């Protein structure tokens, strides 16, 4: 992929070469994300963030990335209630119109495939900030960057992904991106009703990856190099009662952390509800707040590459 001028809609569109290039620019961006150095690389560029679903990290980290590189931001985080979509405007038309105002768009929406619909109308690059339960490429990318930085051999490791694997777009993005690595072993821990979609499992198996599906969290802990924790995705359930059936099944506690290897890492896209006990935060193997900083640097790199300034 060229990056320049391209839409970033799916985690499937990245090759190993693309990932290596993106991660190398991400490392260059770390001092700016860390507020240690200043840059005007994206001066005069405008980012539009169109959010139809709640967000803390994704929207603010894109906006921070843009602002810290000297760019500007126009933003609506209540699109579902306050944009012309409420009057019946199509995503296609919204994409066309927003292209007049901005140089690049980041969009989040509860429906799978919705970001692509907007991108069809847009004449500027569109980045998927999460579309329904389907995909969340930039979160998957920053997770992988964190793995690369912390795992000894990032071509050969075991990742245990635990939680709501059916609905977690982050878990899906991680699997799609990790297909680019050589010897990754996948262990999926979930209740039967919340299993990883079968298309993702079959694709990994077809490509020769080892995949284990289990309900046994305790048994999976000692083998893992990366523990990826996902929240039960409340907003994807039909009712509160339905959600409550699954909430609280898998909870990482300091007691359970003792079962992990000394050089294993724990990642989570956050937000957490109850799946990672706050007392785990003191353990240096827990990288979820470090991930937030990587998120800004990675989004700086992506904006710069897509806008053709890197």
Q: Which is nearer to ligand NCD, 256 or 270 (CB)?
A: 270
CB burial class (10 A; 0-12, 13-18, 19+) of residue 289?
A: exposed
Q: Which of 65, 260, 269, 302 binds ligand NCD (CB under 6 A)?
A: 269
CA 218, distance to chain mean position in Å, is 26
Q: Which of 58, 64, 94, 146 is catalytic?
A: 58
Query: Considering beta carbons, is residue 248 or 271 the nearer one to ligand NCD?
Result: 271
For ligand NCD, give the closer residue by CB, 223 or 251: 251
Least distance from C-beta 156 to ligand NCD, angstroms? 27
Cβ partners under 8 Å of residue 113, min gap 6: 131, 132, 134
Which member of 45, 68, 108, 299 is catalytic? 108
Compare residues 99 and 168 and give the one whose CB is closer to ligand NCD. Answer: 168
Measured CA to CA, the distance from residue 18 to residue 138 in angstroms comes to: 13
Show contacts with ligand NCD in window 167-226 (CB under 6 A): 169-170
* Catalytic annotation present for 58: yes
Q: Which of 87, 54, 68, 9 is nearest to 271 (CA)?
A: 54
CB of 282 to ligand NCD, least distance (A): 22
The residue number whose beta carbon is nearest to ligand NCD equals 269
Torsions phi, psi of 139, nearest 5? -70, -45
Q: x/- contact string, 47-66, with ligand NCD (CB under 6 A)?
A: ----------xx--------
d(CA 123, CA 48): 13
Peptide bond into 271 cis (omega under 30): yes
Q: Determine whether 136 is an active site residue.
A: yes
Binding mask of the shown chain, residues 77 to 106, with x at each position contacting ligand NCD by CB under 6 A: ------------------------------
CA–CA distance, 152 with 290 (Å, rounded to integer): 17
| Half-sphere exposure (Cβ direction) of 162: Cα atoms closer than 13 Å | 26
Which residue out of 87, 152, 192, 258 is catalytically annotated? 87
Of 45 and 172, CB closest to ligand NCD:
172
In the complex, least distance from residue 58 CB atom to ligand NCD, rounded to whole angstroms: 4
Pick the stretch among 117-125, 176-184, 268-276, 300-308 that binds ligand NCD (CB under 6 A).
Answer: 268-276
Site string for ligand NCD, 123-162 (x = CB under 6 A): -------x-----x--x-----------------------
Under 8 Å between Cβ of 232 and 164: yes
Token pair for 291: 């991930």
Count of residues interacting with ligand NCD (CB under 6 A): 11
Catalytic option among 68, 109, 136, 299 = 136
**Element of type H or E holding 156:** strand 156-162
Q: Does 109 bind ligand NCD (CB under 6 A)?
A: no
Would you call 59 a catalytic residue per the annotation? no
Q: Which is nearer to ligand NCD, 136 or 176 (CB)?
A: 136
From 2, 275, 295, select the one nearest 140 (Cα to Cα): 295
Q: Which residues are catalytic?
A: 57-58, 87, 108, 136
The residues that touch ligand NCD, with contacts defined as CB under 6 A, are 57-58, 130, 136, 139, 169-170, 231, 269-271
């Amino acid at each position: 992929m060229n990056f320049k001028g391209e839409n970033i809609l799916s985690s499937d569109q990245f090759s190993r070469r693309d990932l290596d290039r993106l991660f190398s620019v991400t490392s260059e961006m770390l001092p700016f994300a860390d507020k240690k150095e200043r840059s005007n690389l994206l001066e005069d560029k405008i980012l539009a963030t169109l959010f139809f679903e709640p967000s803390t990290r994704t929207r603010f980290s894109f906006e921070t990335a843009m602002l810290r590189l000297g760019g500007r931001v126009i933003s609506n985080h209540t699109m579902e209630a306050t944009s012309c979509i409420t009057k019946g405007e199509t995503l296609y038309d919204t994409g066309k119109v927003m292209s007049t105002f901005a140089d690049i768009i980041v969009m989040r929406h509860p429906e799978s495939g919705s970001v692509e619909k907007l991108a069809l109308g847009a004449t500027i690059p569109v980045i998927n900030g999460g579309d329904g339960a389907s995909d969340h490429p930039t979160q998957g990318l920053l997770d992988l960057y964190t793995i690369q930085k912390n795992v000894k051999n990032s071509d050969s490791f075991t990742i245990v992904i635990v939680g709501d694997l059916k609905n977690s777009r982050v878990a899906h993005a991680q699997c799609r991106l990790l297909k680019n690595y050589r010897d990754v072993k996948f262990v999926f821990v979930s209740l039967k009703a919340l299993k990883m979609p079968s298309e993702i499992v079959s694709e990994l198996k077809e490509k020769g990856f080892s995949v284990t599906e289990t309900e046994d969290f305790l048994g999976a802990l000692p083998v893992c190099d990366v523990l990826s924790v996902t929240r039960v995705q409340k907003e994807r359930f039909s009712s509160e009662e339905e959600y409550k059936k699954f909430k609280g099944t898998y909870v990482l506690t300091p007691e359970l952390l003792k079962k992990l290897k000394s050089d294993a890492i724990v990642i989570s896209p956050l937000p957490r509800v109850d799946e990672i006990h706050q007392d785990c935060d003191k353990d240096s193997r827990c990288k979820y707040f470090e991930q937030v900083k990587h998120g800004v640097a990675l989004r700086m790199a992506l904006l710069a590459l897509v806008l053709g300034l890197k």
